[in-house]
Amino acid sequence: MKTVFALVDCNNFYASCEKLFRPDLRDTPVVVLSNNDGCVVARSKEAKALGIKMGVPVHHIRSEIRQYGIHLFSSNYTLYGDMSRRVMMTLEALAPRVDVYSIDEAFLDLTGVDRVIACEDFGHQVKDIVVQDTGLPVCVGIAPTRTLAKLANYAAKKYKATGGVVDLTDADRQRRLMTLVPVDEVWGVGRKISAKLQAMGITTALELADADPSTLRKQFSVVLERTIRELNGIACIPWEDAPQPKKQIMCSRSFGAPVKVLSDLEEAVAQFATRATEKLRAGEQYAGALMVFFRTNPFRTELPQYSNSTSIRLTTSTQDSRIIVRQVLSLLRPMYRAGYDYAKAGVMLSDLVNKAAIQEDLFAGPSAGQDDRSARLLSVMDEINRTSQIKVCSARQVGSAVYAMRREHLSPSYTTNWSQLPTVR
């Protein structure tokens, strides 16, 4: 039985999440800004039509914002994460297997579905049900490989006549579409590889599909060889029923305002270490090493510059926030230098293992990060912080939070905070 994949991709996801709870902005150009409201990271279709580019600094488009009435939103990751969860739950009810690829994309295994219903009809059903259940528009690309499903989804977004669904299970349709698709739109072909391919005369997806995979493997990599085979209908990418365990966890932020004193920098780093360790516990992993870093703003060349980082290997792997915070603060303090405006800091946890792979200290008892009492305490803290408006944290995280991100256009947490539920008048 031939494999069939569908790629379901939310349209303008961040902007669509914001518009969902603001029907008054239905036809208004909307952009979502990066951390500290610095750059454009998402655009509605109306904003794209105005020529607003991805990544442009917001101060470069002030005139367009005034002229066209563009509405700004700060990134609301809590809202986007919850809406993503709702979309994926809907998809899991529609397909036997779902591989979540990103916050707004998922592959569905549709192998055998065509025995019951035409793939294109099923794609329209998926599209309609996701809109009905979540309010978010999606496009669906269907094909025998993931790379071709990506191309099908590209066509579903680009060509309105498709109705948001493209079925590429037919080989002739695959080749017709590939003649229209630039090579840099092929999944797995980055900007540098695309430039080299174009210099070789390979400018479209079809020309790449017709190239010799063995020859290009020697010139590039096995990844490009796999891409070529996928363009020819040979599925080469293994199915992931569960996400691969993380190899490292990073939590870092650019500060909303310059941090000048050690106590404020300690507070920020303690916050980042706690958040990273919460992610560690959510993945049921333990960290064997950690790194802390901070720096001034390299773009403020008129100011004195300073940056530093250091790391340590832990005696015993842990997932205890108290141990991690204590260690990062002990690393931070000797590195700190007064007289600088610090702009960013972060904590990275690495050497991640599961509980069975922990190596205990031969000359000590069970570490505080692994005993049952600590595990129960941390579990209770996580549950309180996940479900309650009251937050439990370490004393070192309490302070003025001068480092907090600048989010002047933040929307409410409509779906995760009782006090911010949308109301109808």
pLDDT band at 106 (very low <50, low <70, confident <90, very high): very high
pLDDT band at 177 (very low <50, low <70, confident <90, very high): very high
Q: For the ranges 90-104, 130-144, 237-251, 346-360, which has the lowest average pLDDT?
A: 237-251
Q: Which residues make Cβ contacts (< 8 Å) with residue 277, sequence separation at least 6?
A: 287, 319, 320, 321, 324, 325, 349
Task: Quick: pLDDT tens for 134-175.
Answer: 999 999 999 999 999 999 999 999 999 999 999 999 999 999
Evaluate if residue 365 carries a pLDDT over 60: no
- Quick one: pLDDT at residue 368? 42
Q: 315 vs 62, which has greater pLDDT?
A: 62
Chosen CATH of 1-169 out of 3.10.450.50, 3.30.1490.100, 3.30.70.270, 3.30.420.40: 3.30.70.270
Q: Which CATH superfamily is domain 171-243 in?
A: 5' to 3' exonuclease, C-terminal subdomain (1.10.150.20)
* Amino acid identity, position 293: F
- Quick one: pLDDT at residue 242? 54
Q: Which residues make Cβ contacts (< 8 Å) with residue 116, sequence separation at least 6?
A: none
Evaluate if residue 241 carries a pLDDT over 60: no
- Quick one: pLDDT at residue 369? 44
Q: Which among 270, 282, 280 is positioned nearest to 250, based on CA atoms?
A: 280
- Quick one: pLDDT at residue 354? 82
Q: Looking at the DSSP assignment, which residues form a beta bridge with residue 249?
A: 349
- Yes or no: say if 296 and 356 are a contact pair by the CB < 8 Å rule: no
Q: What percent of the chain has pLDDT over 70?
A: 91
Calculate mean pLDDT across residues 31-43. 90
- Quick one: pLDDT at residue 376? 81
What is the 3-class SS of the chain, one letter each residue? CCCCEEEEEECCHHHHHHHHCCHHHCCCCEEEECHHHCEEEEECHHHHHCCCCCCCEHHHHHHHHHHHCCEEEECCHHHHHHHHHHHHHHHHCCCCCEEEEECCEEEEECCCHHHCCCHHHHHHHHHHHHHHHHCCCEEEEEECCHHHHHHHHHHHHHCHHHCCEEECCCHHHHHHHHCCCEHHHCCCCCHHHHHHHHHCCCCEHHHHHCCCHHHHHHHCCHHHHHHHHHHCCCCCCCCCCCCCCCCCEEEEEEEEEEECCHHHHHHHHHHHHHHHHHHHHHCCCEEEEEEEEEEECCCCCCCCCCEEEEEEEEEEEECCHHHHHHHHHHHHHHHCCCCCCEEEEEEEEECCECHHHCCCCCCCCCCCCCCHHHHHHHHHHHHHHHHCCCCCCCHHHCCCCCCCCCCCCCCCCCCCCHHHCCCCC
* pTM score, whole prediction: 0.78
Evaluate if residue 109 carries a pLDDT over 50: yes
Sign of CA dihedral 210, 215, 220, 226: positive
Of the CA atoms within 13 Å of residue 97, those in its CB half-sphere come to 13
Q: For the ranges 147-156, 273-282, 338-347, 371-380, which has the lowest average pLDDT?
A: 371-380
Evaluate if residue 371 carries a pLDDT over 70: no
Task: Quick: pLDDT tens for 306-354.
Answer: 999 999 998 888 888 889 999 999 999 999 999 999 999 999 999 888 8
pLDDT band at 299 (very low <50, low <70, confident <90, very high): confident
- Quick one: pLDDT at residue 127? 95
Calculate mean pLDDT across residues 100-118. 90
- Yes or no: say if 232 and 209 are a contact pair by the CB < 8 Å rule: yes
Q: What is the mean pLDDT of the chain?
A: 87
Q: Which CATH superfamily is domain 249-397 in?
A: DNA polymerase, Y-family, little finger domain (3.30.1490.100)
- The structure tokens 């966890």 sit at 249
Q: For the ranges 51-55, 88-92, 205-209, 398-402, which has the lowest average pLDDT?
A: 398-402
Calculate mean pLDDT across residues 226-231. 90
Task: Quick: pLDDT tens for 7-24.
Answer: 999 999 999 999 999 999
pLDDT band at 408 (very low <50, low <70, confident <90, very high): confident
Q: What CA dihedral angle connects 300, 302, 303 and 307, to 10 degrees?
A: 60
Q: Looking at the DSSP assignment, which residues form a beta bridge with residue 308?
A: 294
Q: Which among 186, 182, 147, 153 is positioned nearest to 167, based on CA atoms?
A: 153
Evaluate if residue 98 carries a pLDDT over 80: yes
CB burial of residue 385 (10 Å; 0-12, 13-18, 19+) = middle
- Yes or no: say if 36 and 406 are a contact pair by the CB < 8 Å rule: yes
List the domain boundaries for the chain: 1-169, 171-243, 249-397
pLDDT band at 223 (very low <50, low <70, confident <90, very high): confident
Alpha-carbon gap, residue 129 to 135, rounded angstroms: 9
